Structure 1
Amino acid sequence: MSVTAWPGELAHRYVARGYWEQRPLGAYLDAAAAARPDEICLVDATVSLTFAELVSRVDGAAARLRALGLSAGDRVVVQLPNCWEFVVATLACFRSGVAPVMALPAHRRQEVTAVARLTGARALLVAATVKGFDHERLAHEVAAEVPDLKHVLVTGHRQRPDSLDLAALCAPADGAAPGLAPPDPADVALFLLSGGTTGRPKLIPRTHNDYAYMMRRAAQICGAGPGTVYLAVLPLAHGYPMAGPGLLGTLLGGGRAVILPSPAPERALAAVAEHRVTMTSLVPAAVTRWLEHLGTAPAPDLSSLELVQVAGSRLPDEVAARVSPALGARLQQVYGMAEGLLCMTRPADPDEVVHHTQGRPICPDDELLLVDEDGAPVPPGEPGILLTRGPYTPRGYYREPELTAAAYPPGGWYRTGDVVRLRPDGNLVIEGRDKDLINRGGEKIAAEEVENYAHQLPAVSLAAAVAMPDPELGERVCLYVVARPGTEVTLAQVRDVMREAGVAAFKLPDRLVPVDALPVTAIGKVDKKALRADIARRL
C-alpha cells in the first residue's frame, strides 16, 4: 500500500512496552459497549444513541460497505461535517478494514480530486449541502474524473438518483453482526491530511496500533473515561478533535460525545449546560470568541466543565490567563500534528506552565531533536527546528517518495518545520515556523499555492504570499504583488481566480499589498522575513 513501516526492532519495543496493544480500533468500541450497553454515548441534533445502538449501526454499515464491493484495504474519502453519520461511517470503516481518508468540508474540487486520485478511493461520503455549498454535485464531478471512484453516498436531501443514501447505509444491522475478519492492528486504519509548501494535500497513514495508543494515552493524561462528556465543535476530520483524545478517544473509553456543527459560542455554551459537558477542544480563535461572548451576555451554567483544550496555533499568553477564570475549567494547551507527535500540558501543571508553554510529549519514547537550518543541534534553551520520532509518528507520506525524502531525514525523524524552544522542565514553547506556510486558524496554507494562482493573472509580474498577524485567527494570508507596467491587480481578481479553480475558501488571500518591487536576500531570493515585518508595521 506504499506505506513506510516502523523498523522491526522498534515495533517490537513498542509492543513490549505496552504502547501497541495489538488490537484493532473496533475492539475498543466493543469493549466499551460490552461494559455500558445501555448508556447514551453519542448525541447530535437529530440522534441520540446508546453504545448498543451505536454498535448495531456500525455493524450494519460495515456489512453494507462489503455489499457495495468494498473490502479490507480499500479507501473511501470522507468529506462530512460534524454529524452522527461521520462517526458511524468512520467506525464501520475501522470494523471492515476499509481506510477512511479524512477530507475537510471546506475542501473543494482541487483538493478532493487530488486526494481521491492519489488513494484510488472507491467511494466518496458527503453531505448534500454544507453552508449553502452543493457537495453532492462536487462529489459527482470528482467521480467523473477519478475512474476508481464508483459510489457517492450522501446524507441529507439528495438531488440525484445515482447518489446512495448514507443514512440508510448507517442504519442498524439487519441481523447478527456480519462476522467480518478483524483488520491487522499493523494495517492502516485511516489517512489524515496535512497541508504543505506545495499546496497539494499530503496523506498520513495512521495504523490501528499507533492511533489507538495516542488516543488512550491522551485520554489517560486528560482523565477521560466513562464519566466524560466531550463536546465536539471543531471539524472532526482533524486529528485533534477526533483523537486527542477527542470524540473517538471518548467513545472508545466509555464516555459520551456530543456533536455540534461549529464552536459558535451561543449554541456551544448552551450545550455545555444542557448536556453537562466536562471537556471540549478549541482553537485560539474559538476560545477568544467564547471569552468575548461571556463578557457581553449572561453565562449559562458551566459548572460541569472541567477541561478546555486549545491547539491549532499558539494561544497568546494573556488570553491563556483568562480562560480558567472565565470558564471555570482548567486550560490545557495542546501542540501536535497529523504526522504524529502530541504534546500537552497536564491538568496538575502550575499556571506558569499552562499559560506560557504548549506542553510536553505524551510518551516517554517520543524523541525530540532541535536543529538549526544546516541540521546541526542547537545549544540547550535555544530555538531550533523540531524533529521528532516515536511510536505514533509514522515514517512517511502515502505514495509521495519525494515529499517523504524532504520531510523525513535519515534515522526515522520527521522534520516538523516548527521552530520551538525546549525548556529545562521538558515543555515546548512554539516560536514560529521555518516552512513557507501560513497557519490560518489551524488550517495550513502553502504560500506557493497562493502565489501560483496570482501569477495566472496577466497583470501580475511578481507575487509573494506571507502570514499576516491576526488577533482572532493567529494568521491570515497577505499577498504582495508587483503589477506589470500600466496595469493594476486587485484582491478580488486573485480571489476570483482561486474560486474558479475550485480552491478551498480558507486559502483565499485576505489582503493585497501592491508594491513596486519585492525585497530580496543576499542570494536573490524573495525576503519574506522583510515582508512579514512590513505587514506587521502596516497593521
Structure 2
Amino acid sequence: MLNGFTPWPAQFAARYRERGYWQGRTLGSVLRRAALARPTATAVVDGERRWSYRELDERADRLAAGLAALGIAPEERVLVHLPNTAEFLALSFALFRLGAVPVYALPAHRETEIVQLARLAEAVAYVAPDTHLGFDHRELARSVRAQAPSVRHVLVAGEPAEFTALAAVDAEPDPLPGPEPSDVALLLLSGGTTGTPKLIPRTHDDYAYNLAAAAEAAGLDADTRYLAALPVAHNFPLACPGVLGTLHAGGTVVLSPTPSPEDAFRLIERERITVTALVPPLVLLWLEDAAHSAADLTSLRLLQVGGARLQPETAARIAPVLGCRLQQVFGMAEGLLTMTRPDDPEDLVLTTQGRPLAADDELRVVDPQDREVAPGGTGELQVRGPYTLRGYYRAEEQNRAAFTADGYFRTGDLVRQLPGGHLVVTGRTKDVINRGGDKVPVQEVEQLLLTHPAVHEVALVGLPDRELGERSCACVIARGAPPSRAELTAHLTALGLAAFKLPDRLAVLERLPRTALGKVDKRALAELLTGGAR
C-alpha cells in the first residue's frame, strides 16, 4: 500500500465490494476490454492523428515496458504535465498498467506549482511537452531537476534537448505484475488548492466505478464522440465521465488544443461531436460566439456544465442557442459526483446540480457546529461513499481538519437538498463577505446582478476596510455600455435585496483573473483591486 494513503475502513471496503461498486478492475483493463471489443474503431483523434483502440492499447503496453526499462517501479510517482494530446492517454494507461502513479498537473501550472508537486509527491519522473502555447517546458524541467532531487528522469513529448524523448521510451511488452484494484491509481490536484498543494489519491477500484457510473448517467455508448475541450488532467474531463468514461463506453475521444469557440466549434463540425463539458465562464463565451458563428453544431446532443454554479438564466439559454441538452454536474476531485439525469424535469435541470451517482453516497448537511440542519435547510455538505477519499495524500494535519471523526469529508460547499435528492449549491462556507458583522452571501448577490441587462459577468469580492472589516466590490464585465454603481444598486433594491448586501464599490473590468481550473480567482482579483476599485 502506498505510504501516505488513507484506505477505507475494512467494513466499508467489504460493503462496497459486496454491493458491486468495486468490481476488482484496474484502470488499465478499461482500455484493454474496449480494444478487444472494438480493435479497429477510432479511440482518439488528436489533430490529424487518429489512433484505433488497438493502436492506443499497443502503444500503452510498449510505453509501460519502456518505463519499466528506465527503472520506474510500481507505486513510484510520475509528474504528468501534458496538454490535451494523444500522448497523455497513452502515458496514463501505461502508468496504470505498470502500477506507477501519475500525478496530474494542469497545463497552466508553472515553476511554483510544479516544484511543489514534485517535492510533495517525491516524483521520480517529470513528463512535459517541448513547447505548448509558446511556453518552453524544457526550461521549466531544468528548474524542476534542480529543486526536486527525487526526479531522476525528464521525458519530453517532442524535441527533448538534453532530456529523453517520450517517443524513445519504447520496449517489447513483457508481462507485468500490475497493481491491485485497491492500490492508488493516480493522484489528482485539489480544485481548492491554495498555497501548499493537496493531492487526492484515487484507487483503481473507486475511479473505475466513478468513470463507469458517470458514463451511464451521461448516456455514453459506442456512438459517443466526446470533445475534450477542458484540460484532461482535471477530474471533470478526465473521468466524469470525460475521456476515460468515453473509452470505457467504446466511443471516440477528440482532443481540442484549447476550449475556445474557434477551436471547439471547428472540431464539433468536423468530427460530429455529440458530447462535451465546460465550466460556466466558457458557457457564456460559447453562447456569445454561437449566436454569430457559421459552424454546424447540430451533432451536439449533450453539454455537461460543472466546476462552478451555473446560473439558471444562463442554463436556460443553452438549448435554444446551442441546440443540445444540458446536464449539470457538481463534484470534486475528492470524490462525490451529482448529476442531473435525462428524465429530470426541466426545472430541476435548470436550477439544481443533480443527485448523487451512488445509492451509498452518504450526504449530510450541517450547520457550523456540525449539527444536521432541518430537511431543505442550507448548510455545509459532508459526504462519505465508495468513491470519496478518506484522506489527502501525505497530509495528516490537513486531514484532521478536512474529515470528521466518522469519516465524512467536509466539502466546504453550502448546499440545500431537495426531497428527491437533488442538490442546489448556494456557495462556499468561506464565500461570504463579513461586512461589519453582516454576512453578505456572495452567490446570491452575483446571481441578482447577472439579471441586469448591462452585466455580462460578475464576481463579488470582499476588500479590507478599517471600519467594517470588509466592504463588497462588484467586479463587472459589461455587456455594452458599462453600468454605474447607482444603476446596479437601484436594480438590486427593486429586486428586494437587503441594503447591507448592496455592493459598496464597483469595478468595471475587461476580464476576470482565473485559476488553472477556469474558476474566477477571487484572491487575485482582491489583490488587483486593493486601492484600485471605484
The answer to whether TM tops 0.5 is yes
Change (3 A) 1:202 1:474: farther
CA distance in 2, matches of 1:196, 1:326: 32
Query: 1:197 touches 1:435 (CA, 8 Å); kept in 2?
Result: no
Deviation at 1:84, TM superposition (A): 0.8
> 2:383 corresponds to which residue?
388
The one of 322, 327, 352 equivalent to 1:327 is 322
Please give the per-residue CA displacement for 1:141-178, whole angstroms capped at 9, x wherever unaligned.
011111110111111333x31x1112333x6xx54x32
Query: 1:278 touches 1:307 (CA, 8 Å); kept in 2?
Result: yes
Question: Secondary structure of the residue that 1:143 maps to in structure 2?
Answer: helix
The one of 242, 254, 262 equivalent to 2:250 is 254
Q: CA RMSD in A?
A: 2.5
**Letter of the aligned partner of 1:51 in structure 2?**
Y
Structure number with higher relative contact order (C-alpha < 8 Å, ≥ 6 residues apart) = 1
Change (3 A) 1:473 1:20: farther
2:229 counterpart of 1:227: no
Question: Secondary structure of the residue that 1:509 maps to in structure 2?
Answer: helix
The one of 169, 174, 181 equivalent to 1:178 is 174
> 2:437 corresponds to which residue?
none
CA distance in 2, matches of 1:211, 1:474: 35
Question: Secondary structure of the residue that 1:323 maps to in structure 2?
Answer: helix
CA distance in 2, matches of 1:436, 1:139: 36
> 1:243 corresponds to which residue?
239
The one of 323, 334, 338 equivalent to 2:333 is 338
CA distance in 2, matches of 1:144, 1:228: 44
Unaligned runs of at least 5 residues, structure 2: 434-441, 467-517
2:164 counterpart of 1:168: no
> 1:125 corresponds to which residue?
127
Change (3 A) 1:217 1:394: same
Change (3 A) 1:475 1:513: closer
The one of 107, 116, 124 equivalent to 1:114 is 116
Question: Secondary structure of the residue that 1:15 maps to in structure 2?
Answer: helix
> 2:79 corresponds to which residue?
77
Query: 1:333 touches 1:359 (CA, 8 Å); kept in 2?
Result: yes
Question: Secondary structure of the residue that 2:524 maps to in structure 1?
Answer: coil
Query: 1:106 touches 1:506 (CA, 8 Å); kept in 2?
Result: no
Please give the per-residue CA displacement for 1:395-438, whole angstroms capped at 9, x wherever unaligned.
00011001011001111100000000111121101101013699
Query: 2:191 touches 2:333 (CA, 8 Å); kept in 1?
Result: no
Unaligned runs of at least 5 residues, structure 1: 439-465, 483-503, 517-534
> 1:194 corresponds to which residue?
190
CA distance in 1, matches of 2:308, 2:149: 38
The one of 507, 511, 524 equivalent to 1:509 is 524
Question: Identity across aligned pairs (percent)?
Answer: 49
**Letter of the aligned partner of 2:281 in structure 1?**
A
> 1:397 corresponds to which residue?
392
Query: 1:291 touches 1:326 (CA, 8 Å); kept in 2?
Result: yes
Change (3 A) 1:69 1:409: same
Change (3 A) 1:432 1:70: same
Change (3 A) 1:196 1:217: closer
Deviation at 1:193, TM superposition (A): 0.4
CA distance in 1, matches of 2:237, 2:47: 18
Deviation at 1:262, TM superposition (A): 1.4
2:259 counterpart of 1:273: no
> 1:365 corresponds to which residue?
360
CA distance in 1, matches of 2:457, 2:393: 30
Deviation at 1:40, TM superposition (A): 0.8
Deviation at 1:472, TM superposition (A): 6.9
- Match runs of 1:6-21 below 5 Å: 6-21=8-23
Query: 1:196 touches 1:437 (CA, 8 Å); kept in 2?
Result: no
**Letter of the aligned partner of 1:41 in structure 2?**
A
Deviation at 1:42, TM superposition (A): 0.4
Q: Number of residues paired by the alignment? A: 464
Query: 2:74 touches 2:179 (CA, 8 Å); kept in 1?
Result: yes
Deviation at 1:476, TM superposition (A): 7.9
The one of 418, 422, 441 equivalent to 2:417 is 422
CA distance in 2, matches of 1:481, 1:110: 31
CA distance in 2, matches of 1:391, 1:219: 17
